[in-house]
Amino acid sequence: MNRKERLLNAIDFKPVDRPPHAELIFDLAEEAFGLRYPSEQEMAAASPAELEKMLHTCCEIYARTVEEFGWDFVLDWKPAARNDIQYRFIRLLKEYLPADVPVGSYVWDSVICIDTIKDYMQFSVDAVDDPQKLLDWAEDMKRRALIHVDKLTEAGCDIICVASDMAFNAGPFLSPRMFDRFTRPFLAEIVARVNENGPISILHSDGMLMPIFDRLLDMKPRVIQSIDPMAGMDIAAVRKQTYGRVALMGNVRCSYLQDGPAELIVSSAKNAIDACTNGYDGGYIFSTSNSIFAGLPLENYRVMLDYFHRRFPQT
């Protein structure tokens, strides 16, 4: 089973030889390969020849990541200097990687959520005194997000991740009523556009989502990522609720990957795999509850993957 087949079977709840594996972000390229993603400032100031070299460096990092860590797909979180560079880069990356590696990208800053609000006091005032101001802002973000989705699709994306943190560990950022007014319809339209265009839709949010989880399911993303154990998201319970409707990705606890020890990393990986892979019948993508972020010890990620490969030795 090649990587694309494995991913498609998993999200369609069909048998797989093992769960697919990838991460939203791998930010340890220097530690792993001695390579560094160019910064946005470097790319913006680069000559055409320099920019071309930078883009190929990014491709090399993704290719090495796929090979070294056994990823089944890639989401290009870098380069992120300008959208026009991103669209060009997606085409380049698809040519660079093996043909069976699906390539995707992100839609950021698309709805009212934790990530997009910069002044919480002003937001609270506007929610009461000037809700139309917020609705106009949400409409403008959605409009720009839909254009971005269309251009990502035209560039050849196989996957589009709509990344919008909607919850803290204690619960959703907005009450269900406010979520229904200020975020839900706009987010639903963006996810629907991804689905209509054809790429696999991934909806990402950290935090305790259960008070609004039914609303997220109604949007019909193909995958929901994080299933955050630090917020009390029980992946076994979520699996029962979502089985056959939406695939899950994540749940290996990032705080354990950050701090260890190895026994806790293995325990969290085991819990996610045990809850979601009975009979290898799909519906789960193995990953952390967020990403492999800067500062996380690379050896701890290897502990997680060593356990994964012991569970699925044939691959």
284 within domain boundaries = yes
| Tens-place pLDDT, residues 199-232 | 999 999 999 999 999 999 999 999 999 999 999 9
| Tens-place pLDDT, residues 139-173 | 999 999 999 999 999 999 999 999 999 999 999 99
Give the pLDDT of residue 118.
94
Rounded CA gap, 191 and 247, in Å? 15
150 within domain boundaries = yes
44 within domain boundaries = no
161 within domain boundaries = yes
Give the pLDDT of residue 20.
97
117 within domain boundaries = yes
Rounded CA gap, 46 and 52, in Å? 9
For residues 210 and 233, is the Cβ–Cβ distance under 8 A? yes
**Helix, strand, coil distribution of the chain in percent, nearest 5:** 55, 10, 35
293 within domain boundaries = yes
One-character DSSP codes across 146-164: HHHHHHHHHHT-SEEEEE-
Q: DSSP class of residue 252?
A: B
28 within domain boundaries = no
| Tens-place pLDDT, residues 175-187 | 999 999 999 999 9
Task: Label residue 82 by pLDDT band (50, 70, 90).
Answer: low
Q: What are phi and psi of 120, to 5 degrees?
A: -70, -35
Rounded CA gap, 107 and 182, in Å? 18
> Can you give the CATH number for the domain in which 254 is found?
3.20.20.210
When divided into structural domains, the chain yields a total of 1
Give 199-246 as a 3 state SS string. CEEEEECCCCCHHHHHHHHHCCCCEEEECCHHHCCCHHHHHHHHCCCC
Q: What are phi and psi of 76, to 5 degrees?
A: -85, 95
If you average pLDDT over every residue of the chain, what do you get?
95
- Res 55 pLDDT > 80: yes
pTM of the model: 0.96
Phi-psi category of residue 13: left, alpha or beta, with phi > 0 → left and psi -120 to 50 → alpha: left
Q: What are phi and psi of 162, to 5 degrees?
A: -95, 105
For residues 13 and 282, is the Cβ–Cβ distance under 8 A? yes
Residue 307's domain comprises: 3-19+104-311
